[in-house]
Amino acid sequence: MALQPLTVAYLGPSGTFSEQATLKHFDSPDVALLPCRSISDVFGQVEDGRADFGVVPVENSLDGSIRVTLDLFLSTDLRVCGEVDLRVCHNIIVRVGTKRDRIEVVLSHPQAFAQCRRYLKRELPNAKMREVSSTAKAVELLKVTENAAAIGTEVAAKKARMVVLATHIEDYANNFTRFFVISSQDAPPSGRDKTSLIFSVKDVPGALFRILESFAVREINLTKVESRPLRGNPWNYVFFLDFEGHRTDKVSREALEEIRERCYFVKVLGSYPRAIL
């Protein structure tokens, strides 16, 4: 009996950075890709068993964390089993034959506009900016929009049979987006792991210091600490933390056991191999 291919849900449509991240992690012909309309839909597809894995953006090196992704981890039992770091390259894409001096409108996602301000101000100062739901959608809309350009990926340009007029138009070359791979289980130890967790501290002096101390005294390196408002509880916060190591390592287990005694709650999101750039 032939094995069923893995199904991987991602934030669509086809031609987005999320699809590129998915293909980078799941580099196999035996994987069926399932584009979704929103990050919450990706979580839902995996929770309901319609997808084996999901790929969701969690953080951009310039713009910070993707809040909806972090918030969804508070209301789901899904685990993080992998991460992907993807270099973000923005391009000006046009119809065949469209010249730069004829461009009257530029289509793209708000985040793409925010990351390409210098180029747009310098090269297309008179063009209007029109926000759409994704960079891939922007490229598709070129088919029905006169004198227009889109900011999108080369993959999207090829699929839509459009032309890349300018490449690497982002303001900062060192622009990466981090993605989480989510599933019902996390990953076994690989020897180069990270662990992500959520916690809430008691409202007493030095509460956060005592949590960080549990890792510092064991020489566990923290790679991310971020606070988020707790929905429905004004002026109360939860913290997202990443550290180097697997949750099953001896020192990691000791640290996690200790902070559970010092927190209102601790939720380990999962351990997974560190991304390779």
Cis peptide before 229 (omega within 30 of 0): no
CB within 8 Å of 250: residues ≥ 6 apart: none
Dihedral sign from CA coordinates of 73, 74, 76, 78: positive
CA distance 95 to 179: 31
User: 16, 69, 177, 195: which is the annotated catalytic residue?
Assistant: 177
Measured between alpha carbons, how far is 76 from 68 in angstroms, rounded to an integer?
12
Residue 84 CA, distance from chain mean position: 8
CA 260 to chain centre: 28
Two structure tokens written together for 261: 């005694």
CA 134 – CA 152 distance, rounded (Å)? 9
Catalytic residue list contains 177: yes
Buried b (16+ CB within 10 A) or exposed e, 154-187: ebbbeebebeebbeebbeeeebebbbbbbbeebb
Cα–Cα distance for residue pair 51/175, rounded to 1 Å: 29
Q: Which residues are catalytic?
A: 177, 179
